[in-house]
A = this chain, B = another copy of it.
Protein backbone atom coordinates (compact mmCIF):
# COMPACT_ATOMS: atom_id res chain seq x y z
CA UNK A 1 0.00 0.00 0.00
CA UNK A 2 1.11 3.53 -0.65
CA UNK A 3 2.80 5.69 1.90
CA UNK A 4 0.44 8.00 3.72
CA UNK A 5 1.50 11.58 3.91
CA UNK A 6 -1.44 13.40 5.48
CA UNK A 7 -3.41 12.71 8.63
CA UNK A 8 -7.11 12.00 8.08
CA UNK A 9 -9.22 15.19 8.28
CA UNK A 10 -11.52 13.21 10.57
CA UNK A 11 -8.78 12.42 13.11
CA UNK A 12 -9.27 13.45 16.75
CA UNK A 13 -7.24 16.55 17.70
CA UNK A 14 -4.70 14.44 19.54
CA UNK A 15 -4.13 11.03 21.08
CA UNK A 16 -6.20 10.91 24.29
CA UNK A 17 -4.61 10.83 27.74
CA UNK A 18 -5.02 7.17 28.64
CA UNK A 19 -4.97 6.13 32.30
CA UNK A 20 -2.42 3.64 33.52
CA UNK A 21 -3.99 0.20 33.82
CA UNK A 22 -2.30 -1.33 36.81
CA UNK A 23 -0.97 -4.78 35.95
CA UNK A 24 -0.25 -4.12 32.27
CA UNK A 25 3.10 -2.96 30.92
CA UNK A 26 3.90 -2.07 27.31
CA UNK A 27 6.97 -1.87 25.11
CA UNK A 28 7.51 -1.23 21.42
CA UNK A 29 10.51 -1.37 19.11
CA UNK A 30 11.66 -0.97 15.52
CA UNK A 31 12.38 -4.61 14.65
CA UNK A 32 12.51 -4.10 10.88
CA UNK A 33 9.85 -6.71 10.04
CA UNK A 34 9.10 -4.71 6.89
CA UNK A 35 9.18 -0.99 7.55
CA UNK A 36 12.24 1.06 8.41
CA UNK A 37 12.46 4.20 10.50
CA UNK A 38 9.47 3.38 12.69
CA UNK A 39 8.41 0.96 15.43
CA UNK A 40 6.69 -2.19 14.23
CA UNK A 41 6.47 -4.57 17.21
CA UNK A 42 4.62 -4.04 20.48
CA UNK A 43 4.58 -6.25 23.55
CA UNK A 44 2.02 -6.09 26.36
CA UNK A 45 2.62 -8.03 29.56
CA UNK A 46 -0.32 -8.72 31.90
CA UNK A 47 0.30 -9.56 35.56
CA UNK A 48 -0.52 -12.96 37.10
CA UNK A 49 -4.25 -13.38 37.73
CA UNK A 50 -5.26 -11.53 34.55
CA UNK A 51 -8.03 -12.87 32.35
CA UNK A 52 -8.01 -12.47 28.58
CA UNK A 53 -11.02 -12.64 26.26
CA UNK A 54 -11.10 -12.20 22.49
CA UNK A 55 -13.16 -12.22 19.31
CA UNK A 56 -11.67 -12.80 15.89
CA UNK A 57 -12.45 -12.59 12.19
CA UNK A 58 -14.71 -15.28 10.81
CA UNK A 59 -12.88 -15.21 7.47
CA UNK A 60 -12.28 -18.75 6.18
CA UNK A 61 -8.78 -17.61 5.18
CA UNK A 62 -7.90 -16.17 8.57
CA UNK A 63 -4.29 -15.79 9.51
CA UNK A 64 -2.03 -18.11 11.48
CA UNK A 65 -1.94 -15.80 14.56
CA UNK A 66 -5.77 -15.65 14.60
CA UNK A 67 -6.03 -19.44 14.50
CA UNK A 68 -3.48 -19.65 17.32
CA UNK A 69 -5.35 -17.07 19.45
CA UNK A 70 -8.66 -18.90 18.91
CA UNK A 71 -7.12 -22.13 20.17
CA UNK A 72 -5.74 -20.44 23.29
CA UNK A 73 -8.42 -17.93 24.26
CA UNK A 74 -10.58 -20.18 26.43
CA UNK A 75 -7.62 -21.60 28.36
CA UNK A 76 -7.10 -19.69 31.54
CA UNK A 77 -4.98 -20.01 34.63
CA UNK A 78 -3.53 -17.99 37.45
CA UNK A 79 -0.53 -17.08 35.31
CA UNK A 80 0.14 -13.80 33.67
CA UNK A 81 -0.31 -13.31 29.95
CA UNK A 82 1.28 -11.48 27.04
CA UNK A 83 0.24 -10.03 23.71
CA UNK A 84 2.82 -9.55 20.96
CA UNK A 85 1.89 -7.72 17.78
CA UNK A 86 3.80 -6.83 14.64
CA UNK A 87 2.87 -4.60 11.72
CA UNK A 88 4.19 -4.89 8.15
CA UNK A 89 3.31 -8.54 7.56
CA UNK A 90 -0.03 -10.18 8.36
CA UNK A 91 1.32 -13.76 8.37
CA UNK A 92 -1.87 -14.75 6.56
CA UNK A 93 -1.94 -17.41 3.84
CA UNK A 94 1.63 -18.36 4.63
CA UNK A 95 1.12 -22.13 5.05
CA UNK A 96 3.33 -24.10 7.41
CA UNK A 97 5.88 -21.30 7.57
CA UNK A 98 3.19 -19.08 9.08
CA UNK A 99 2.34 -21.61 11.76
CA UNK A 100 6.04 -21.94 12.61
CA UNK A 101 6.40 -18.16 12.83
CA UNK A 102 3.58 -17.98 15.36
CA UNK A 103 5.03 -20.87 17.35
CA UNK A 104 8.51 -19.32 17.34
CA UNK A 105 7.31 -15.87 18.39
CA UNK A 106 4.85 -16.98 21.08
CA UNK A 107 7.33 -19.51 22.51
CA UNK A 108 10.01 -16.85 22.50
CA UNK A 109 7.80 -14.47 24.46
CA UNK A 110 6.74 -17.28 26.84
CA UNK A 111 10.40 -18.05 27.62
CA UNK A 112 11.21 -14.35 27.92
CA UNK A 113 8.50 -13.66 30.49
CA UNK A 114 8.24 -17.05 32.19
CA UNK A 115 4.75 -17.77 30.91
CA UNK A 116 3.20 -20.94 29.55
CA UNK A 117 2.98 -20.73 25.74
CA UNK A 118 -0.82 -20.89 25.78
CA UNK A 119 -0.90 -17.56 27.63
CA UNK A 120 0.91 -15.69 24.84
CA UNK A 121 -1.35 -14.23 22.17
CA UNK A 122 -0.02 -12.80 18.91
CA UNK A 123 -1.31 -10.69 16.05
CA UNK A 124 0.24 -9.69 12.75
CA UNK A 125 -0.99 -7.05 10.33
CA UNK A 126 0.26 -6.00 6.92
CA UNK A 127 0.88 -7.71 3.60
CA UNK A 128 -0.87 -11.06 3.02
CA UNK A 129 0.99 -14.10 1.69
CA UNK A 130 4.63 -13.23 2.34
CA UNK A 131 6.81 -15.21 4.75
CA UNK A 132 7.36 -13.31 7.98
CA UNK A 133 10.87 -12.51 9.13
CA UNK A 134 10.06 -13.67 12.64
CA UNK A 135 13.73 -13.99 13.55
CA UNK A 136 13.81 -10.18 13.60
CA UNK A 137 11.04 -10.19 16.20
CA UNK A 138 12.85 -12.85 18.24
CA UNK A 139 16.04 -10.77 18.16
CA UNK A 140 14.12 -7.80 19.60
CA UNK A 141 12.58 -9.62 22.55
CA UNK A 142 15.27 -8.98 25.21
CA UNK A 143 15.21 -5.25 24.44
CA UNK A 144 11.41 -5.23 24.54
CA UNK A 145 11.43 -6.87 27.97
CA UNK A 146 13.81 -4.22 29.31
CA UNK A 147 11.52 -1.46 28.07
CA UNK A 148 8.22 -2.73 29.55
CA UNK A 149 6.46 0.19 31.28
CA UNK A 150 2.90 0.82 32.45
CA UNK A 151 2.87 4.25 30.76
CA UNK A 152 3.93 3.13 27.26
CA UNK A 153 0.50 2.42 25.75
CA UNK A 154 0.58 5.31 23.23
CA UNK A 155 3.85 4.06 21.75
CA UNK A 156 2.26 0.61 21.53
CA UNK A 157 -0.63 2.13 19.56
CA UNK A 158 1.88 3.64 17.12
CA UNK A 159 3.82 0.42 16.62
CA UNK A 160 0.78 -1.46 15.26
CA UNK A 161 -0.20 1.10 12.58
CA UNK A 162 -0.07 0.19 8.87
CA UNK A 163 -1.94 2.57 6.50
CA UNK A 164 -3.37 4.30 9.59
CA UNK A 165 -2.81 8.04 9.59
CA UNK A 166 -3.22 8.45 13.36
CA UNK A 167 -2.81 6.28 16.45
CA UNK A 168 -6.10 5.25 18.05
CA UNK A 169 -6.78 5.16 21.79
CA UNK A 170 -9.76 5.41 24.10
CA UNK A 171 -10.43 5.14 27.81
CA UNK A 172 -13.24 5.09 30.34
CA UNK A 173 -13.49 5.18 34.11
CA UNK A 174 -16.31 3.43 35.91
CA UNK A 175 -17.31 3.47 39.58
CA UNK A 176 -18.47 0.15 40.93
CA UNK A 177 -19.89 0.36 44.46
CA UNK A 178 -17.67 3.34 45.26
CA UNK A 179 -14.52 1.87 43.79
CA UNK A 180 -12.87 2.96 40.56
CA UNK A 181 -12.08 0.74 37.59
CA UNK A 182 -10.10 1.93 34.58
CA UNK A 183 -10.44 0.79 30.97
CA UNK A 184 -7.99 1.76 28.21
CA UNK A 185 -7.71 0.46 24.67
CA UNK A 186 -5.81 0.92 21.43
CA UNK A 187 -6.69 -0.02 17.85
CA UNK A 188 -5.36 0.04 14.32
CA UNK A 189 -7.23 -0.19 11.04
CA UNK A 190 -7.87 1.93 7.98
CA UNK A 191 -8.60 -0.25 4.93
CA UNK A 192 -9.87 -3.83 4.44
CA UNK A 193 -12.43 -2.87 7.07
CA UNK A 194 -15.72 -4.66 7.32
CA UNK A 195 -15.04 -6.68 10.42
CA UNK A 196 -17.01 -9.87 10.66
CA UNK A 197 -16.56 -10.11 14.41
CA UNK A 198 -14.07 -8.10 16.38
CA UNK A 199 -11.99 -5.98 14.12
CA UNK A 200 -8.68 -5.06 12.69
CA UNK A 201 -6.46 -5.08 15.74
CA UNK A 202 -7.89 -3.84 19.01
CA UNK A 203 -6.43 -4.28 22.49
CA UNK A 204 -8.33 -3.14 25.53
CA UNK A 205 -7.10 -3.40 29.11
CA UNK A 206 -8.79 -2.95 32.45
CA UNK A 207 -7.75 -3.29 36.05
CA UNK A 208 -11.15 -4.78 36.90
CA UNK A 209 -11.34 -8.28 38.28
CA UNK A 210 -13.50 -10.21 35.78
CA UNK A 211 -13.76 -13.94 35.23
CA UNK A 212 -12.79 -14.97 31.71
CA UNK A 213 -16.21 -16.40 30.69
CA UNK A 214 -17.92 -13.21 31.90
CA UNK A 215 -15.45 -10.99 30.04
CA UNK A 216 -15.77 -13.16 26.92
CA UNK A 217 -19.55 -12.97 27.01
CA UNK A 218 -19.50 -9.20 27.52
CA UNK A 219 -17.23 -8.44 24.58
CA UNK A 220 -19.07 -10.86 22.28
CA UNK A 221 -22.29 -9.00 23.05
CA UNK A 222 -20.80 -5.50 22.80
CA UNK A 223 -18.96 -6.39 19.60
CA UNK A 224 -22.27 -6.78 17.78
CA UNK A 225 -23.10 -3.07 18.14
CA UNK A 226 -19.57 -1.67 17.83
CA UNK A 227 -16.90 -3.29 15.64
CA UNK A 228 -19.41 -5.34 13.67
CA UNK A 229 -21.19 -2.09 12.79
CA UNK A 230 -18.42 -0.33 10.93
CA UNK A 231 -17.27 -0.58 7.36
CA UNK A 232 -14.74 1.30 5.28
CA UNK A 233 -14.68 -0.68 2.05
CA UNK A 234 -16.73 -3.87 2.61
CA UNK A 235 -13.53 -5.93 2.61
CA UNK A 236 -13.05 -8.19 5.62
CA UNK A 237 -9.53 -8.67 6.90
CA UNK A 238 -7.90 -12.03 7.45
CA UNK A 239 -6.48 -10.77 10.73
CA UNK A 240 -9.26 -8.96 12.64
CA UNK A 241 -8.61 -9.40 16.34
CA UNK A 242 -10.02 -7.90 19.52
CA UNK A 243 -8.31 -8.91 22.75
CA UNK A 244 -9.42 -7.62 26.14
CA UNK A 245 -7.27 -8.20 29.18
CA UNK A 246 -8.45 -7.72 32.78
CA UNK A 247 -5.68 -7.63 35.38
CA UNK A 248 -7.83 -7.42 38.50
CA UNK A 249 -5.24 -5.00 39.96
CA UNK A 250 -7.96 -2.60 41.14
CA UNK A 251 -9.30 -5.32 43.41
CA UNK A 252 -12.77 -4.44 42.13
CA UNK A 253 -14.83 -7.46 41.25
CA UNK A 254 -17.04 -7.13 38.14
CA UNK A 255 -19.99 -9.49 38.00
CA UNK A 256 -21.89 -10.75 34.98
CA UNK A 257 -24.66 -8.22 35.44
CA UNK A 258 -22.49 -5.13 35.94
CA UNK A 259 -24.22 -2.67 33.65
CA UNK A 260 -21.87 0.14 34.69
CA UNK A 261 -18.82 -1.79 33.51
CA UNK A 262 -20.60 -2.96 30.35
CA UNK A 263 -21.52 0.63 29.50
CA UNK A 264 -17.97 1.87 30.05
CA UNK A 265 -16.53 -0.97 27.97
CA UNK A 266 -19.11 -0.25 25.26
CA UNK A 267 -18.03 3.41 25.18
CA UNK A 268 -14.40 2.46 24.67
CA UNK A 269 -15.20 -0.15 22.02
CA UNK A 270 -17.49 2.21 20.09
CA UNK A 271 -14.98 5.05 20.29
CA UNK A 272 -12.21 2.85 18.91
CA UNK A 273 -14.52 1.47 16.19
CA UNK A 274 -15.45 5.00 15.09
CA UNK A 275 -11.80 6.07 15.14
CA UNK A 276 -11.08 3.26 12.68
CA UNK A 277 -13.76 4.66 10.34
CA UNK A 278 -12.39 8.17 10.87
CA UNK A 279 -9.12 6.80 9.54
CA UNK A 280 -10.80 4.98 6.63
CA UNK A 281 -8.52 5.06 3.62
CA UNK A 282 -9.13 8.33 1.82
CA UNK A 283 -12.04 9.29 4.12
CA UNK A 284 -13.23 12.89 4.31
CA UNK A 285 -16.67 12.28 5.91
CA UNK A 286 -17.84 10.20 8.87
CA UNK A 287 -21.35 8.88 8.21
CA UNK A 288 -23.77 7.30 10.65
CA UNK A 289 -26.46 5.19 9.00
CA UNK A 290 -29.39 4.39 11.28
CA UNK A 291 -32.31 2.22 10.30
CA UNK A 292 -35.56 1.87 12.23
CA UNK A 293 -38.89 0.20 11.57
CA UNK A 294 -37.35 -2.84 9.89
CA UNK A 295 -38.97 -6.27 10.07
CA UNK A 296 -36.14 -7.40 12.38
CA UNK A 297 -32.81 -6.17 13.76
CA UNK A 298 -31.06 -8.43 11.25
CA UNK A 299 -32.99 -6.83 8.39
CA UNK A 300 -32.17 -3.35 9.72
CA UNK A 301 -28.47 -4.26 9.84
CA UNK A 302 -28.63 -5.61 6.28
CA UNK A 303 -30.20 -2.39 4.98
CA UNK A 304 -27.73 -0.23 6.91
CA UNK A 305 -24.74 -2.20 5.60
CA UNK A 306 -26.09 -2.10 2.04
CA UNK A 307 -26.24 1.70 2.23
CA UNK A 308 -22.88 1.97 4.03
CA UNK A 309 -21.13 -0.25 1.46
CA UNK A 310 -22.70 1.14 -1.70
CA UNK A 311 -19.97 2.70 -3.87
CA UNK A 312 -22.60 5.00 -5.39
CA UNK A 313 -23.82 6.24 -2.00
CA UNK A 314 -20.22 6.69 -0.82
CA UNK A 315 -19.13 8.61 -3.92
CA UNK A 316 -22.24 10.82 -3.70
CA UNK A 317 -21.24 11.65 -0.10
CA UNK A 318 -17.71 12.41 -1.28
CA UNK A 319 -19.24 14.79 -3.83
CA UNK A 320 -21.45 16.39 -1.14
CA UNK A 321 -24.46 15.45 -3.25
CA UNK A 322 -27.69 14.67 -1.31
CA UNK A 323 -28.40 11.95 -3.87
CA UNK A 324 -31.04 10.13 -1.85
CA UNK A 325 -32.08 8.11 -4.91
CA UNK A 326 -28.94 6.07 -4.35
CA UNK A 327 -30.02 5.36 -0.78
CA UNK A 328 -33.32 4.07 -2.19
CA UNK A 329 -31.33 1.89 -4.61
CA UNK A 330 -29.22 0.44 -1.79
CA UNK A 331 -32.28 -0.39 0.29
CA UNK A 332 -33.79 -2.08 -2.75
CA UNK A 333 -30.78 -4.31 -3.36
CA UNK A 334 -30.07 -5.26 0.25
CA UNK A 335 -32.14 -8.41 0.17
CA UNK A 336 -33.95 -7.39 3.38
CA UNK A 337 -37.65 -6.63 3.51
CA UNK A 338 -38.73 -3.15 2.37
CA UNK A 339 -41.88 -1.50 1.08
CA UNK A 340 -41.12 1.30 -1.32
CA UNK A 341 -44.34 3.09 -0.44
CA UNK A 342 -43.84 3.25 3.33
CA UNK A 343 -40.17 4.04 3.62
CA UNK A 344 -38.88 7.43 4.62
CA UNK A 345 -35.37 8.88 4.53
CA UNK A 346 -33.83 11.73 6.56
CA UNK A 347 -30.45 13.42 6.05
CA UNK A 348 -29.71 14.90 9.49
CA UNK A 349 -33.07 16.42 10.45
CA UNK A 350 -34.08 17.08 6.84
CA UNK A 351 -36.97 14.96 5.60
CA UNK A 352 -35.86 13.80 2.19
CA UNK A 353 -38.29 11.10 1.15
CA UNK A 354 -41.54 9.71 2.51
CA UNK A 355 -44.45 7.58 1.27
CA UNK A 356 -42.53 6.33 -1.73
CA UNK A 357 -41.43 9.69 -3.06
CA UNK A 358 -39.55 12.88 -2.36
CA UNK A 359 -40.92 14.79 0.67
CA UNK A 360 -43.28 17.64 -0.25
CA UNK A 361 -41.18 20.02 1.86
CA UNK A 362 -37.82 18.81 0.51
CA UNK A 363 -35.44 21.66 -0.21
CA UNK A 364 -32.47 20.55 -2.28
CA UNK A 365 -30.41 23.63 -1.41
CA UNK A 366 -30.82 22.94 2.30
CA UNK A 367 -29.88 19.28 1.82
CA UNK A 368 -26.84 20.26 -0.24
CA UNK A 369 -25.72 22.64 2.50
CA UNK A 370 -26.08 19.84 5.06
CA UNK A 371 -23.88 17.51 2.98
CA UNK A 372 -20.94 19.91 3.37
CA UNK A 373 -20.63 18.90 7.02
CA UNK A 374 -17.82 16.57 7.99
CA UNK A 375 -20.09 14.31 10.07
CA UNK A 376 -23.32 13.16 8.49
CA UNK A 377 -26.32 11.13 9.61
CA UNK A 378 -28.56 9.21 7.22
CA UNK A 379 -31.71 7.82 8.77
CA UNK A 380 -34.08 5.36 7.13
CA UNK A 381 -37.42 4.27 8.57
CA UNK A 382 -39.16 1.34 6.92
CA UNK A 383 -42.43 1.42 8.89
CA UNK A 384 -42.61 -2.36 8.86
CA UNK A 385 -41.68 -3.45 12.39
CA UNK A 386 -39.41 -2.82 15.36
CA UNK A 387 -36.01 -3.74 13.91
CA UNK A 388 -33.21 -1.17 14.33
CA UNK A 389 -29.50 -0.88 13.52
CA UNK A 390 -26.76 1.72 13.45
CA UNK A 391 -23.57 1.47 11.41
CA UNK A 392 -20.73 3.86 10.65
CA UNK A 393 -18.90 4.33 7.40
CA UNK A 394 -16.93 6.91 5.44
CA UNK A 395 -17.02 8.27 1.91
CA UNK A 396 -15.22 6.82 -1.13
CA UNK A 397 -12.72 9.25 -2.61
CA UNK A 398 -9.74 9.50 -4.92
CA UNK A 399 -7.64 8.99 -1.78
CA UNK A 400 -8.87 5.38 -1.48
CA UNK A 401 -7.83 4.69 -5.08
CA UNK A 402 -4.47 6.40 -4.55
CA UNK A 403 -3.73 4.27 -1.51
CA UNK A 404 -4.84 0.95 -2.95
CA UNK A 405 -4.09 1.11 -6.67
CA UNK A 406 -0.39 1.56 -5.99
CA UNK A 407 1.83 -1.44 -6.40
CA UNK A 408 2.80 -3.01 -3.08
CA UNK A 409 6.24 -1.79 -2.04
Contact = CB atoms under 8 A, between A and B. Distances in A.
Contact of A236 (B59, B320, B329, B408): B329
B404 A401 contact: no
Nearest to A326: B128
A176 interface: no
Tally of this chain's copies = 2
A332 B59 contact: yes
B329 A61 contact: yes
A226 interface: no
Interface residues of A, number: 70
A388 interface: no
Nearest to A311: B233
A237 to B, nearest CB: 7
Main secondary structure on chain A at its contact with chain B? loop
Contacts of A309: 234
Contacts of A406: 319, 321
A216 B90 CA distance: 50
Contacts of A356: 93, 95
Interface string A118-133: 0000000001111000
Contacts of A93: 325, 328, 340, 353, 356-358
B129 A237 contact: no
Nearest to A397: B401
Interface in A47-90: 57, 59-62, 90
Interface string A219-258: 0000000000000011111100000000000000000000
B355 A95 contact: yes
A161 interface: no
Contacts of A57: 332
A97 interface: yes
A330 interface: yes
A23 B81 CA distance: 79
A235 B329 contact: yes
Given A235-B312, A320-B407, A357-B129, A192 B329 contact: yes
Interface in A386-404: 396-398, 400-401, 404
A316 interface: yes
Interface in A362-409: 368, 396-398, 400-401, 404-408
A105 to B, nearest CB: 18
Contacts of A328: 61, 92-93, 128-129, 238
7 contacts: A61-B328, A61-B343, A93-B340, A235-B310, A312-B404, A319-B404, A398-B401
Interface of A: 57, 59-62, 90, 92-98, 127-130, 191-192, 194, 196, 233-238, 309-312, 315-316, 318-321, 323-326, 328-334, 337-341, 343, 353, 355-358, 368, 396-398, 400-401, 404-408
Given A129-B325, A312-B404, A315-B405, 6 more contacts: A61-B332, A61-B340, A92-B328, A234-B234, A234-B310, A235-B326
